């Protein structure tokens, strides 16, 4: 089942900033976003629930040190993924 990806302004800013300094990560990020649309809990994404200030959000891996932070939501009565942030482990946590 394909889900809609909803990009927050913070996600867009973080993605632009990260890809400007790490253009080689673009392919990994686009591949992960495609996988998130199909199955956000696919084992290859290593999706896990977050706690603390990010309670309610989930994170998945988009490479060795690249993480995507998201929330499963409903959009127009259908499952969607709200993309909140992207960056290295230290940047997003």
- 3-state DSSP of 8-73: CHHHHHHHHHHHHHCHHHHHHHHHHHHHHHHCCCCHHHCCEECCHHHCCCEEEECCCCEEEEEEEE
Question: In the predicted model, what is the mean pLDDT of the chain?
Answer: 94
In the prediction, which pLDDT does 93 show?
82
CA distance 51 to 1: 27
pTM above 0.75, yes or no: yes
In the chain the domains, ranked by start, together with CATH numbers, are: 4-76+84-92 (3.30.2310.20)
φ, ψ at 90 (rounded to 5°): -70, -30
What are the tokens at 53? 């200030």
- Going by pLDDT thresholds of 50, 70 and 90, the confidence category of residue 58 is very high
1-16 pLDDT tens trace: 799 999 999 999 999 9
């Amino acid at each position: 089942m394909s889900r809609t990806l909803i990009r927050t302004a913070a996600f867009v800013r973080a993605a632009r900033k990260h890809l400007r300094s790490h253009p080689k990560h673009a392919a990994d990020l686009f591949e992960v976003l495609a996988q998130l649309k199909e199955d956000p809990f696919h084992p290859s994404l290593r999706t896990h629930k977050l706690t603390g200030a990010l309670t309610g959000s989930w994170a998945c891996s988009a490479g060795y040190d690249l993480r995507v932070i998201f929330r499963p939501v409903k959009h127009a009565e259908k499952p969607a993924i709200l993309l909140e942030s992207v960056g290295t482990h230290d940047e997003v946590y």
